[in-house]
Amino acid sequence: MASALEHVSWETCLIEPRSDRALEAYARRKVGVPFLSLRYFASVPWLARAVVDLHPELGLLMHLDQSVADLLTLVVSQENSCRFCYAVMRMLLRAQGMSDARIERMEQHLSRAGDLPPRTAAAIAFGRSQSRVGPGAARDARRALRHAGFSDDEMKEIGFVVASTDFLNRIHTIPAIPSRPVERMPDRLHMRLLGPLLNYIVQKHRFRGRATPLERAPLYPYARLVRAYAGSPIAPALGQAIEEMWASPVLSRRSKLLMLAVIARGLGCEVCALEIGEALQREGLDASALAQILTHLDAPELDDTERLLVRFARETIWYEPAVLQRRARALSARLTGPQLVEAAGVASLANGLCRLGAMVLEHA
């Protein structure tokens, strides 16, 4: 059966896969099966680990029903036109024993809110609003979630599922991670035969989270967002990804902050913009220079690499996949391979963090 995203144009991959046995073993221990895209991110270890660790089904959800989380992942991936992530979700549904016809009926139901239970419809509406509109729609979407009966803890987990999916969609879309092999995989004979075994292994590695304290108080930018999840296993997983991103030497700290500032401004996430702005001032960039950068994506204070990165960051907020992939390809001519991978990772994580901030920071 053809994928609902098969019409989406998808460029050839921008980066070469690289084997890293330690990372691959780490991912296999957590997921149970080979992680299909990990080799493309191996040159930037924090990103490769984050692509594994921020999957909600791997022990990060304590309150939200996993079936709702799975539907959210499918819907947001479709909204973001991520052929790779969407194909992976459909492959997992096939491994669970769903027929092509049943998957097609489910996709049709997801497009019609009236066919869904009120709670599920409200969660999906939130996911769609964050993908289509961003933080500006969060207040009304939160109100609808509460009206549908979701608790604050469930709402925070819905926000995380949507944000992590936004992150994963972009990090697979920007470098055009090959989607065709995954789209074709369910129709191969060996996959039909091994489907039940694959499902058994995957389900065995899915589990509910347990209360998990933070080992130390976070002090880096976006620490407030991590603290909002204190007590949840989301907090240490998210905190580690953010902390390792800041510590990575591939791109400068100021470059990363500038990318996050541009994305926060583009999405209208005021709480995120304030925290990043304060961090940039500590890096020596005053408020007037930052205002010029955010308005014009240029300023005399920027070096050549920063100038490229802030313009690229803006492109990742709203995009058509093939157009964004061509922009990334142009960027690859000016950056090293690891720099390109980290730039994609920072932009992808920033998009998720801003959407997450809109959901939870008012409750922190």
Per-residue pLDDT of the chain (364 residues; tens, 9 = 90+): 456 788 899 999 999 999 999 999 999 999 888 888 999 999 999 999 999 999 999 999 999 999 899 889 999 999 999 999 998 888 777 766 666 677 777 776 666 656 678 898 899 989 988 888 888 888 888 889 999 999 999 999 999 999 999 999 999 999 999 998 888 775 665 556 566 766 667 777 788 999 998 887 777 888 888 999 999 999 999 999 999 999 999 999 999 999 999 999 999 887 788 889 889 999 999 999 999 999 999 999 999 999 999 999 999 999 999 999 999 999 999 999 999 999 999 999 999 999 898 777 764 4
For residue 302, which phi and psi values (nearest 5 degrees)? -80, 140
pLDDT of 44 reads 98
pLDDT of 363 reads 43
Task: For residues 182 and 83, give the distance between their C-alpha atoms in angstroms, rounded to a whole number.
Answer: 9
Q: DSSP strand E in 251-294: where?
A: none
pLDDT of 57 reads 93
pTM: 0.92
Taking the domains of the chain in order of start, what are their residue ranges? 21-28+36-204, 223-363
pLDDT of 256 reads 97
pLDDT of 215 reads 82
pLDDT of 3 reads 64
DSSP string, 201-244: HHHHT-B----B--SS---STTHHHHHTTTBSTHHHHHHHHHHH
Task: For residues 213 and 279, give the distance between their C-alpha atoms in angstroms, rounded to a whole number.
Answer: 26
**223-363 CATH pick, 3.40.30.10, 1.10.240.10, 1.20.1290.10, 3.40.50.1980:** 1.20.1290.10
Q: CB within 8 A of 75, min separation 6: which ones?
A: 110, 124, 127, 128
The topology under which CATH files domain 21-28+36-204 is AhpD-like (1.20.1290)
